[in-house]
Amino acid sequence: METDLKLESSLWVGNKRYRGVLTGWHFYWTEVDKNRDKKTISVPVAEVVGVEEGCVEILPRKSVEDTDKDFTVFYVKRSSSGGSSGFLWRLGRTQFSCPSRVLRDQWTKHLRTALKTHSPLRPKRLLVFINPFGGKRKGRKIYHSVVAPLFELAGISSHVIVTERANQARDHLLKKDLTDFDGVVCVGGDGMFSEILHGLIGRTQQEAGLCENDPAVILQPCPLHIGIIPAGSTDCVCYATVGVVDPVTSALHIIVGDSQPLDVCSVHHASALVRYSVSLLGYGFYGDVLAESEKHRWMGPLRYEYSGTLVYLSNRSYAGIVQYLPADPLLSSPRDKIRCLSGCSVCSRSTERLFSHSSDSASLYSSHCSQFSSDSEGEWVSVEGRFRCVSLTCMSCSCPRSPLGLSPSAHLADGTGDLILVWDTNPLDFLTYLHRQTSTQDQFDLPFVEVHRVKAVRFCLPSGKEGESYEEIGGGNCEISDEERGSVETENSASSQQNLAETGTGQEMADEQKTVPPFMCCLCCSKTPAVSVWNCDGEILPFTEILCRIHGQLVHLYARGIEDEATIQNCREESNNCERRCILHNKTGLNFGL
C-alpha cells in the first residue's frame, strides 16, 4: 500500500526547477540548479487540502489555464496569530508543471490517494447549521464567502440549514436521518454549539437505549464529529480548542479531518437531566451577567462587557453549599501550570484510564439523591458560605476576552473539570480577580479564591433559601447585606468547611476583616437577592440546586487543540518517526517516477 504512494520527479514552479518527492507521509520540493542554500518546502500529506489538474485559483474559483502538464496543490500554511495563543491557518497554493502529462496524472493520483490514506477522518459530507442571529449576525456571510469555497475545493458536499428559531438544530439532530453525514458543522457561538451538542448526545443515547437522566449512567460517545465556524459573541469553545477565533482556520481543521475529544458535564436536578455543559457552568457573577445580558442582546457581543460592569457594580454575593468529588491529585492539578496544548500528554494518558475504568465510577453517583458515597478514588468534600461566584469548567474557557481562560491549566479531554470558588470579598479584591482573568497573572493566587480538579459537583442552598428565586438587578424580595447597611467592612461568611486544606481557604478570609473603600460600596443596587442563576454555556438554568458529573471525551471536534512552536515540532518528529517505522516495516525504496 505504502509503496503505491511514493513518487519522485522533476517539477517546475514558475521557471525554477525543483525535485519533488512524495514519501507517502510528506510532499516536499527542493530547488535544484542552485549551488547552496537549497530551499525545501515540505507539506505533511495530512495537511494537503486538495489537488487539482491545471492551474486553478480559488476565491473566485476558476481554472485560469488548463495546460495538460500542470497541477495545483492547496495546503495548510500557518501564520502568527499576532497575540492569541494558536496559529492562524491559511490556504497555501503552489502550481507545478511536469515534464509530461503522464507524470502529471501520476502526481495527482498519488497525492489524492496519499491524503485519503493519511487522514482517514476527512469528512465527505457535512450537515451545516447557520445561526443568522449569532454574534454580529454575520454567520451566513462568513459561511458562504469564506467556508463554502474551501469545502468545495476539498470535495466536501454540505447540506446547509439556516435556522429560523432557537433549538431547530437540536431538534433536527434528535429526529432526522443523519446517515451519510460524517459530521455536523455549527456556524455561530457557544449557544449554537450547545444546541448541536445536545442534539448529538441525546440522539446517541436514544439509539444506545441509555437514560440521560441518570447521572450514574456511562454515556455513549457520539459518532459524528462537530466542527465550529466561529460566528458568535464569546466563541469560547472554538478559541479553547483551536487557539484563535478565525473561520478560515476552523474550516481548514474540518477539511483535514482533525479530531479533538472533549469532556462534557451533565447537569441534573431531582433525578432528571437539565443540560450539558462544556465551557462555563457559573453561579453568582457569571449567572447574573448572563441574565442581565439577555436584556441587551441588541448590543451584540458588547452586551457582556456592559452587563459585566452593571453586575460588578451591584456588588453581590450568594450563600450556598458546594460539594465536590476531587479527581486523582497524582494525575494533574489546576495549579500545575501545564497548559492543554495540541497532543496534550495529560489528555492522552487519560484516554486509556477513562475507557478502561469507567464502569467503576457508577457507584459514586448512584446514591446522589440521598447521601454521597465514597470509594477508593476519593471522598466528597463539602464547603458552605457566601460566594462571589462558583464556576465549573471542563476546559480552560479561554476566549478573546480571557486569553488564558478561567482555568488556564484545565484539560480538554482528561475526564475532569475545574471548580473555582470565589468567596465573598470586598469589591476591590473581586475586581483584582476579574482583571487577572483577562491577563497572565495567576487568578488563583488570591486568598479568597480556591480551585479544585473534580469529577463531580453538587450545589445546594442553605436551608431556608430553597424556595427563593432569582431577582434581577434592582428587583425586590432581597436580603440586605452588611455592606448595604452602610458598613465599610465585609466578611467572608464561610460558615462551615470540611476536608479543606489548612491554608488558603475561604475560612481564613472569614477571619480577616476587609476594608472596603467607600466609593466601591454597592453603587447601583440597594439590595442583594437571596439566589443567583446558573449560566450553563450561555443558557440560564431553571434550577438552582444541581448535581454535575463530568463525562470524559464524550464528543469529538474537528480540531487538534492549541498549537505552539513546540507542539508543531513534536508533531513533525512523530510523523517522521511513523514514516521511518513504516519504511522499515515495508523495506521498500522510493518508486522513482522519472
Ligand X SMILES: CCCCCCCCCCCCC/C=C/[C@@H](O)[C@H](COP(=O)(O)O)NC(=O)CCCCC
Q: Is 361 left (phi over 0), alpha (psi -120 to 50) or beta?
A: alpha
203 belongs to the binding site for Ca ion (CB under 5 A): no
Q: Which of 318, 257, 333 is nearest to 471 (CA)?
A: 318
Q: Which is nearer to ligand X, 354 or 394 (CB)?
A: 394
Site for ligand X in 521-580 (CB under 6 A): 535, 537-538
Can you tell me the distance from the alpha carbon of 538 to that of 190, in angstroms, rounded to the nearest whole number?
A: 7
- Supply 41's cell numbers: 518546502
247 belongs to the binding site for ligand X (CB under 6 A): no
Q: What residues contact 300, with CB distance under 8 A and at least 6 apart?
A: 135, 136, 137, 233
CB of 417 to Ca ion, least distance (A): 6
Give the E-state strand segments of 54-86 in sequence order: 55-57, 62-65, 70-80
Of 70, 182, 190, 429, the active-site residue reads: 190
280 belongs to the binding site for ligand X (CB under 6 A): yes
Q: Which is nearer to ligand X, 190 or 214 (CB)?
A: 190
Q: Which of 123, 189, 334, 403 binds ligand X (CB under 6 A)?
A: 189
**DSSP class per residue in 346-411:** HHHHHHHHHHHHGGGGHHHHHTTTT----BTTB--EEEEEEEEEEEEESS---BTTBTT-SSTT--
Q: What residues contact 565, with CB distance under 8 A and at least 6 apart?
A: none
Name the closest residue to ligand X (Cβ): 538
439 belongs to the binding site for ligand X (CB under 6 A): no
Instruction: Choose one: 184-192, 341-349, 554-562, 564-572; the region binding ligand X (CB under 6 A).
Output: 184-192
Can you tell me the distance from the alpha carbon of 303 to that of 297, in angstroms, rounded to the nearest whole number?
A: 6
Q: Which is nearer to Ca ion, 122 or 455 (CB)?
A: 455
- Supply 512's cell numbers: 480577616
Would the CA dihedral through 576, 578, 583, 589 be positive or negative? Answer: negative
182 belongs to the binding site for Ca ion (CB under 5 A): no
Angle between helix 285-293 and 303-314 (nearest 10): 130
Q: Which of 54, 149, 191, 447 binds ligand X (CB under 6 A)?
A: 191
CB of 536 to ligand X, least distance (A): 8
Q: Which does 164 bind (CB under 5 to 8 A by kind): ligand ADP, Ca ion, ligand X, none?
A: ligand ADP
190 is annotated as an active-site residue:
yes
Q: Which is nearer to ligand X, 439 or 526 (CB)?
A: 439
Q: Which of 236, 244, 419, 555 binds ligand X (CB under 6 A)?
A: 236
- Supply 575's cell numbers: 510523523
Q: Which is nearer to ligand ADP, 233 or 260 (CB)?
A: 233
| 462 CB-contact burial (10 Å; exposed 0-12 / middle 13-18 / buried 19+) | middle
Q: Which of 98, 406, 546, 547 binds ligand X (CB under 6 A)?
A: 406
* 221-260 footprint of Ca ion as x/- string (CB under 5 A): ----------------------------------------
The residue ranges that bind ligand X (CB under 6 A) are 189-191, 232-236, 279-280, 286, 289-290, 304-305, 308-309, 312, 397, 399, 401-402, 406, 434, 437-438, 535, 537-538
Q: Which residues are identified as catalytic?
A: 190
